[in-house]
């Protein structure tokens, strides 16, 4: 075994002059190479993470933009529907007012003015309640029992 060690190890003259520096440099060189490789791997990994983050941010921005557009469209549809409902209710209110006026005119033509006048005064004070009534003049009509009472 001594022969194998002597054949592998350099002569004492060579070892004393060049070997200690080479032995010290060789592990340092290996360590530097490992550090450089590790640094490269970390930089590549960092670049990959940066790219993933940019992709994620881009996708998120796209989703936010899409959701905003959808909300704007829904708001437009909602406002259109609301305007339509307002118009429909105004038309209904006008129709009900016209029907009430027609009924009042019919009652006047029949000579029942006194019965229809008291029902109009509360209606003017609280127009909302009158517009919600589907049959505003029915109680006056049902109270009518004889033409003599109505003309008095």
Phi, psi for 98 (deg, rounded to 5): -65, -45
Q: At what angle do helices 113-125 and 19-109 cross, to 10 degrees?
A: 160
Contacts of 111 (CB under 8 A, 6+ apart): 147, 150, 151
Measured CA to CA, the distance from residue 54 to residue 62 in angstroms comes to 12
137 and 104 in contact (C-beta within 8 Å)?
yes
Q: What's the confidence (pLDDT) of residue 19?
A: 54
pLDDT category at 133 given cuts 50, 70, 90 is very low
Q: What's the confidence (pLDDT) of residue 28?
A: 84
**pLDDT for 92-112, tens place per residue?**
999 999 999 999 999 888 886
Q: What's the confidence (pLDDT) of residue 135?
A: 45
**pLDDT for 136-146, tens place per residue?**
444 444 444 44
Measured CA to CA, the distance from residue 1 to residue 58 in angstroms comes to 67
**pLDDT for 27-78, tens place per residue?**
788 889 999 999 999 999 999 999 999 999 999 999 999 999 999 999 999 9
In this predicted structure, the answer to whether residue 79 has a pLDDT above a threshold of 50 is: yes
Measured CA to CA, the distance from residue 37 to residue 31 in angstroms comes to 10
Q: What is the mean pLDDT of residues 80-101?
A: 97
pLDDT category at 25 given cuts 50, 70, 90 is low
Q: Find the radius of gyration of the CA atoms of the chain.
A: 50
Contacts of 147 (CB under 8 A, 6+ apart): 111
Residue 50, both tokens: 């940066």
Q: What's the confidence (pLDDT) of residue 59?
A: 97
In this predicted structure, the answer to whether residue 11 has a pLDDT above a threshold of 60 is: no
Question: Could you give the angle at the alpha carbon of 140 between the alpha carbons of 118 and 123, nearest 5°?
Answer: 40
């Amino acid at each position: 075994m001594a022969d194998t060690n002597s054949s592998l190890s350099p002569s004492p003259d060579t070892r004393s002059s060049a070997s200690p520096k080479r032995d010290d440099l060789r592990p340092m060189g290996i360590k530097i190479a490992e550090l450089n490789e590790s640094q490269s791997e970390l930089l590549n990994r960092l670049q990959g993470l940066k790219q993933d983050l940019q992709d994620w941010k881009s996708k998120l921005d796209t989703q936010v933009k899409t959701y905003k557009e959808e909300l704007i469209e829904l708001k437009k549809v909602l406002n259109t529907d609301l305007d339509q409902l307002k118009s429909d209710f105004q038309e209904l209110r006008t129709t009900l007012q016209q029907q009430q006026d027609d009924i009042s005119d019919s009652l006047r033509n029949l000579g029942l003015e006194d019965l229809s006048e008291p029902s109009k005064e509360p209606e003017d004070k609280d127009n909302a309640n009158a517009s919600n009534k589907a049959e505003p003049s029915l109680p006056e009509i049902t109270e009518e029992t004889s033409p003599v009472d109505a003309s008095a």
